[in-house]
Each structure stands twice: as C-alpha cells, then as structure tokens.
Amino acid sequence: MSTGGFVALGILANCIWGTAFLIPYILPEINPMIIALGRYFVYGVLSMVLIIVARKRFQKLSKQQWLLAFSVGFAGNLGYYLFLSSSIYYSGITIAALIIGILPVSLAIIGNLIEKTYSFRSLALSVFLILSGMLTLGLSGIESRVGNDHILPGTALAIMALVLWTYYGIKNSRFLKSNPNISSNSWSLAIGICCLLQSLIALPALAMFTDAFQFANDMGGEQLWHLFWSCLLLGIVVSWLATILWNQASRHMPVALAGQLIVFETISSLVYGYVADQRLPSMGELSAISLIIMGVITGLRTTQSAKYDPNQRANIRYE
C-alpha cells in the first residue's frame, strides 16, 4: 500500500475515534466514568474471545512487551478516555476538542525530536497553522461558555488526556516500527486484554471514591439501554477496529506525519457535535477548521517531499 493509503487509514481511524467525544456529550445524565469502564470492559472481553478463537494466529509476547502493552493501553485507552469523557462532561465538546487538538503539534515536535526525520523549520508552518486554528476554535468556543464554573476543571482534565495520548502515540508507534514481526491485530488484542484488567482493577476504586455505582443503580431502563449500546459501539468499533487501523497506519509513517492526522479526530468530533446540536458551525469555527486543514495539507506536502523509510527502525528495540 502507498503512503497515501496509510494516510487514508489514519484519517478513517481518527474519524471513528471522533465518536468517542459524542457519546458522553449526548448522554450527560450518565457518569462518564461508567461509560469509560464499560467501553474498555467490552473491548477487553472481545479481545479475550478473539484470542481464544484464533489463538494459533495470536503472536506470543514477552513479559516486557506485555508490560509495555499495559502501559500504553492505559495511556492511550482507559486513562485517556477517563480524563477526556470527564472533561466533556464538565465543559462540553469544544473545550475538550481544542485541547486534544494540540496532539498533532505535541506528537510532531516530540516525535521529530526522537526520530529526527525532518528539520523543524520544514514543520514550522504546519504547526503554526494548526495552533492558529486551535486558538481560533478555542476563542469561539469559550465565548459561548463564559460563566461556566466547570471550564477550569474541564480544561485540566483535557490537558491530562493530552499528556497521556502524546506518550501513547510516540511509544506505540516506535514499538510497532521496531517490532515488525508483531501484527497490528495481535498488538491491538494484547492492549485490549490489558484494558480489561485495568477496568476490573478500577472498579473497587470507583466504588470507594465516587458515587458512580449509586448513580448506576438510579438509572432507568432507557438509560441502561443507552449505556449498553454506547459501550458496545465504543468497545468494538471505536476501540478495537479503530486501533487496528491506526496501528497499521502508524507502523508505516513517521510520528511527525501520523501526529498531524490526529486533527481529523478533532474535526470529526466537532462535526458530530454540530449534528447533535442541529446547528451549523459559526464563522469563527469555520475559520478555525480551515486553518487546521491547511496546516495538515502543508504538513503532508512537507513530509511527502522527504524520503522516509519505515524499515529504518528506532535504535531502541522494545522486546
């Protein structure tokens, strides 16, 4: 498959991930922690079933690789979504999308520091356009939320989600490139098993320190069905399928290029939000989205003009 094909896979994965913003937004009556644990419980159970059914094709991992799967599984999945969904619960989609939208910049800069694929001067215009778009989007979103007492905690939660996914994006990409013998599907299933374990570990803490279980007991039948179908969608499509697509794409792209595709998660989440709100984007939001798209196109042209060999592995192998 050509680079363009892997870029398309990365964009598709991010458009699927964008629905993860929508679920806690359209179900504000359901505690976001319950949604997060339900999502990764489903993802983990599905991974376990698939490993049992196709155990001969599942590639065995070393102890160190399982520990890494546990680490990136929390950073890019359960931990990330706990913070993200809580941020959306408190401050809405726009603020969360603004903060998470900085991911292309954080991944491009940190990833390029590690891999040294391109000169930072060649990435400067792309980063500037994306940051300008995010700033414009943030200002237009904040204007509509002046007086919301939950903006600060919501922003802090989104920043934590940003830090976790930046770690995940870089660590996961470098692992896949340095271990071509491990398929994207096997790695996705391994992460799913780790997410199942993490969700089970989190249950006692959730019961001790939050009112989530009491909240769940108070939910009506209709809310429970909404939660059930949402967790199935998030666990099977958004977690399992999108992770396979992203692993396949990021294996064949430098982190600096793959990172820029994350903006499609932000853009798609905003589009889904507009559909849910039954409204069109404002002029400020349209301007922001235009700047972001221009930044991605500029970055794609820059990275495609340079030669990149995915067989040039990182110096550090994660065994």
Alpha carbon 131 to its chain centroid, in Å, reads 18
Please give the C-alpha separations between residue 310 and each of 72, 181, 253, 307, in angstroms, as whole numbers.
21, 14, 7, 10
Reply yes or no on whether the pLDDT at 237 is more than 50.
yes
Q: What is the pLDDT of residue 214?
A: 63
Q: What is the pLDDT of residue 213?
A: 60
Q: Which of 295, 311, 319, 10 minimizes the C-alpha distance to 136?
A: 295
**Highest averaged pLDDT of the listed ranges 152-161, 192-201, 278-287:** 192-201
Domain tally for the chain?
1
More confident residue, 34 or 194: 194
Is residue 297, in this structure, part of any structural domain at all? Answer: yes
pLDDT band at 312 (very low <50, low <70, confident <90, very high): very low
Q: What is the pLDDT of residue 282?
A: 82
pLDDT band at 306 (very low <50, low <70, confident <90, very high): low
Residue span of the structural domain in which 26 resides: 7-305
Phi, psi dihedrals of residue 11, rounded to the nearest 5°: -65, -45
Q: Which of 190, 162, 150 minimizes the C-alpha distance to 79?
A: 162
Concatenated DSSP letters of 243-297: HHHHHHHHHTS-HHHHHHTTHHHHHHHHHHHHHHHT-PPPHHHHHHHHHHHHHHH
Q: In this prediction, what percent of the chain has a pLDDT beyond 70?
A: 83
- 12-67 per-position pLDDT tens digit: 999 999 998 889 888 888 878 888 888 999 999 999 999 898 887 777 889 999 99
Is residue 1, in this structure, part of any structural domain at all? Answer: no
Name residues whose C-beta falls within 8 Å of residue 305's C-beta, 6 or more positions apart in sequence.
Answer: none
One-letter amino acid identity for 88?
I
Is residue 315, in this structure, part of any structural domain at all? Answer: no
78 neighbors 33 (Cβ within 8 angstroms)? no
How far is residue 37's CA from residue 287's CA, in Å, rounded to a whole number?
36
Q: What is the pLDDT of residue 47?
A: 92
Q: Which of 176, 196, 161, 191 minimizes the C-alpha distance to 72?
A: 191
Q: What is the pLDDT of residue 140?
A: 66
Lowest mean pLDDT among 91-105, 131-145, 215-229: 131-145
Q: What's the pTM value of the predicted model, to 2 decimals?
A: 0.78
Is residue 84, in this structure, part of any structural domain at all? Answer: yes
Is residue 152, in this structure, part of any structural domain at all? Answer: yes
* Mean pLDDT to the nearest integer, 275-284: 86
Is residue 30, in this structure, part of any structural domain at all? Answer: yes
Is residue 314, in this structure, part of any structural domain at all? Answer: no
24 neighbors 87 (Cβ within 8 angstroms)? no
Question: What's 118's DSSP letter?
Answer: S
Is residue 28, in this structure, part of any structural domain at all? Answer: yes
